[in-house]
Amino acid sequence: MSNTAPTIELRGVCTRFGALEVHKGINFSLQPGEVTTLLGPSGAGKTIILKLIMGLMSPSNGRVFVMGRDITDLDEQALRAVRADIGMLFQGAALFDSLSVFDNVAYGLRERGERDEKKIAEIVHERLEMVGLPNLDWKLPSQLSGGQRKRVGLARALASSPKIMLYDEPTTGLDPTSTRKIDDLILKFARERGITSLVVTHDVFSARRVSDRWMLLSKGVIAADGPVSVVERESPLVSEFVSGTWKDDA
């Protein structure tokens, strides 16, 4: 492969809100097609990392690169172009309650100026097929199960054919069967479409299933980073996190 540039890179990223220093120098890079899990306790700053990559927030220090481009100081218009390559599954799926399944999935396409309804319908149906939810077009989110809502959120995030997918706690609150379906979809998108994926989760079983690489965010830095088998063996923090003996205020 000629292009070995990382798809996502954070260099020396610091984020602060007043006196609260959330990130104190975050460094990592994600290679094309890689699926990485970001673990860490609540409030560690995981969601903010996803927002930094989307350009929804700027770091107080450091640089953020997406597909080789420094996005740190881009204006809103340039950021919109960057976001076109990124799909994000927000915590709680964040569907529009008053819109049908079809219109939820079509939303991003219409937002980006697509007016050809035939083409929109084609893409929407293909994506709903991909997540295993055909024939639900005119249902409202309130008529779906939690797992189905997540999958509609996935279909929506995939509508614009992103090269990067960011997942914020995609399986939180789901039963084991729905969790497994989401995990399988995350893997499928990465394997079949080469989508570079960053998954934030508390679910250690999902984290093992979907990714080879774990990063642990703790006290403002990436405290462990590497193949799962290695970090589970060598990082005391990771073993504490996995075994539920984590002491956050140590």
Beta bridge partners of 66: 8, 69
Contact between 171 and 203 (Cβ < 8 Å): yes
Q: Taking CB under 5 A as the rule, does residue 15 contact Mg ion?
A: no
Among 15, 47, 179, 218, binds Mg ion (CB under 5 A): 47
| Residues 143, 147, 152: CA angle, nearest 5 degrees | 70
Tokens representing 28 are: 């990592």
Residue 47 or 196 having the CB closest to Mg ion? 47
**Contact yes or no for 178/145 (Cβ under 8 A):** yes
Check the CA dihedral 236-238-244-249 and report its sign. positive
Partner residues linked to 221 by β-bridges: 218
- Angstrom CA distances, 200 to 91, 108, 170, stand at 10, 23, 8
42's contact among Mg ion, ligand ADP, none, with CB below 5 to 8 A by partner kind, is ligand ADP
Q: Which of residues 11-50 bind ligand ADP (CB under 6 A)?
A: 17, 22, 40, 42-48
- Nearest distance in Å: CB 215, ligand ADP: 12
Residue 74 DSSP label: -
Residue 48: which of ligand ADP, Mg ion, none does it interact with, CB under 5 to 8 A by kind? Answer: ligand ADP
Burial code (b: 16+ CB inside 10 Å, e: under 16) for 102-141 equals bbbbbbbbeeeeeeeeeebeebbbebbebbebeebbebbb
Residue 141's binding partner out of ligand ADP, Mg ion, none, with CB under 5 to 8 Å set by partner kind: none
Minimum gap (Å) between residue 14 Cβ and ligand ADP: 13
Give the Cβ contact number of residue 180 at 10 Å. 16
Neighbours of 98 (CB within 10 A): 10
Q: Does 37 bind Mg ion (CB under 5 A)?
A: no
Residues 6+ apart with CB under 8 A from 246: 41, 237, 240
Instruction: Name which of 47 and 104 has its Cβ closer to Mg ion.
Output: 47
- By CB under 6 A, tell whether 170 contacts ligand ADP: no
For ligand ADP, the binding residues in 45-74 under the rule CB under 6 A are: 45-48
Q: Quick check: 147 binds ligand ADP (CB under 6 A)? A: no
Residue 87 to residue 68: CA distance in whole angstroms: 17
Closest approach of Mg ion to the CB of residue 210, in Å: 17
Q: How far is the CB of 58 from ligand ADP (least distance, A)?
A: 12
Q: How far is the CB of 2 from ligand ADP (least distance, A)?
A: 35
CB of 199 to ligand ADP, least distance (A): 13
Stretch that binds Mg ion, among 40-48, 147-155, 179-187, 216-224 (CB under 5 A): 40-48
Q: Applying CB under 5 A, which residues contact Mg ion?
A: 47
Q: Applying CB under 6 A, which residues contact ligand ADP?
A: 17, 22, 40, 42-48
